[in-house]
Amino acid sequence: MHDVRELIELGPEAVRRLGRRRHRLDLEALGALHRGRVAALEAVDRLRGELKRSSRGGRPTEAAREESRRLREQVQEAEAALRTVELELEEILLGIPNLPLDAVPDGDSEKHAVEVRKGGPPLRPAADQARHHADLGESLGVLDAGRAAALSGARFSVSRGAGARLERALASFLLDLHTREHGYTEYAVPHLVNRETMTGTGQLPKFQEDLFATSVGGRELFLIPTAEVPLTNLVAKELLEAKDLPLAMTARTPCYRAEAGSYGRDTRGVLRLHQFEKVELVRICALEEAQEQLELMVGQVEECLRRLELSYRVVLLPAGDMGFSARMTYDIEVWLPGSDSYREISSVSDCGAFQGRRAGIRHRTAEGRKQPAATLNGSALPIGRTVAALLEQGVQPDGSVLLPEALVPYTGFRRILPGGAVEG
Number of DSSP helices (H) and strands (E) in the chain, helices first: 14, 17
CATH class of 4-94: mainly alpha
Catalytic residue flag (residue 385): yes
Q: Report which of 41, 11, 43, 16 is spatially closest to residue 27, judged by C-alpha positions.
A: 11
Q: Report which of 294, 334, 300, 296 is spatially closest to residue 314, judged by C-alpha positions.
A: 334
What's the CATH number of domain 110-423, 3.40.50.300, 3.30.1490.270, 3.30.710.10, 3.30.930.10? 3.30.930.10
Which residue among 272, 283, 357, 358 is the active-site one? 272
Phi, psi dihedrals of residue 175, rounded to the nearest 5°: -65, -40
Which residue among 385, 392, 400, 415 is the active-site one? 385
Each residue's pLDDT, cut to its tens digit, for the chain (424 residues) gives 899 999 999 999 999 999 999 999 999 999 999 999 999 999 999 999 988 887 776 667 777 788 888 999 999 999 999 999 999 999 999 999 999 999 999 999 999 999 999 999 998 765 555 799 999 999 999 999 999 999 999 999 999 999 999 999 999 999 999 999 999 999 999 999 999 999 999 999 999 999 999 998 889 999 999 999 999 999 999 999 999 999 999 999 999 999 866 666 777 899 999 999 999 999 999 999 999 999 999 999 999 999 999 999 999 999 999 999 999 999 999 999 998 999 999 999 999 999 999 999 999 998 899 999 999 999 999 999 999 999 999 999 999 999 999 999 999 999 999 999 999 8
Catalytic residue flag (residue 379): no
CB atoms within 10 A of CB 146: 10
Catalytic residue flag (residue 238): no
Encode 90-119: b = buried (16+ Cβ within 10 Å), e = exposed.
eebbeebbbbbbeebbebeeeebbeeeeee
CA-based end-to-end distance of the chain: 52
Catalytic residue flag (residue 347): yes
Is residue 414 within 8 Å of 421, Cβ to Cβ?
A: no
> For the chain, which residues make up each domain, given as ranges?
4-94, 110-423
